[in-house]
Amino acid sequence: METVRDGDLEIVMAGPTGYGNNVFVVIDRSSGEAAFIDAPGEPDVNVAAAVAAGVNPAKILLTHGHFDHTPAIEALKKVRRPALCRWREPGLKDGQLDAAVKHGDEVKVGNLSFRVVSVPGHTPGSTTYVCGKHAFVGDTLFPGGPGRSKDNAALQQEIASITRELFALPRRHHDLAGARRHHHDRGEQAGIRGLRRQRACHRPLR
């Protein structure tokens, strides 16, 4: 288990669980309120991460609806944790989504705000949550480039999303990806730099 503290924001990362996915718990230490980012793998692994941090997350912020990011969702929701995701995200079952979010929305976790950024491509409703200098990108971006997409059209959409939204983030942003089997570099935006190497025509961030 790893912990990152940045002001009032604390990020707990546990796992791997399920298909090699990370468990993320985000905490506002000024209020004690917390949330899960996705619901991967075994419910007990998610709950254990929260218990170790001394919090009881009140909501689940879903980056997308793929089966490896949602298997624990029903168990976690039993204790009245609403799940938030973009509208019409495939893979979610009836009753799993409690509230839809859209690009530009702000989701509150205590006194912290997580900005909703639409990054379609990996899935139609793929979403990044940005809080301060931390971006939770799900499976949209990894150190070697974009996450897997279903076809070339979706890949082009995903690359456009990364270019338009994630390249626009200041260099200080740290990308936290969804799967431990893909290394994530909190210090240097390895995913964005890796994609830029593949697309040399793209103008580097200032």
Q: What is the pLDDT of residue 83?
A: 84
Pick the CATH number of 2-198 from 2.40.10.10, 3.60.15.10, 3.10.20.600, 3.40.640.10: 3.60.15.10
Tokens representing residue 11 in the block: 């990020």
Say which residues have a Cβ less than 8 Å from residue 195's Cβ, sequence separation at least 6: 141, 145, 146, 159, 162
Q: What does the alpha-carbon distance between residue 144 and residue 202 come to, in Å, rounded to a whole number? A: 16
Concatenating the DSSP letter of every residue in 174-186 gives: EEEESBTTS---T
User: How wide is the angle at C-alpha 33 spanned by C-alphas 170 and 58, nearest 5°?
Assistant: 105
The amino acid at 92:
L
Q: What does the alpha-carbon distance between residue 53 and residue 135 come to, in Å, rounded to a whole number? A: 21
Question: So where are the chain's domains?
Answer: 2-198
Q: What does the alpha-carbon distance between residue 194 and residue 151 come to, in Å, rounded to a whole number? A: 21
Q: What does the alpha-carbon distance between residue 134 and residue 173 come to, in Å, rounded to a whole number? A: 5
Q: What is the pLDDT of residue 177?
A: 63
pTM, 2 dp: 0.85
Weakest-pLDDT range from 61-65, 120-124, 202-206: 202-206
Q: What is the pLDDT of residue 200?
A: 26
Q: What is the pLDDT of residue 130?
A: 95
Cβ neighbours of 29 (radius 10 Å): 17
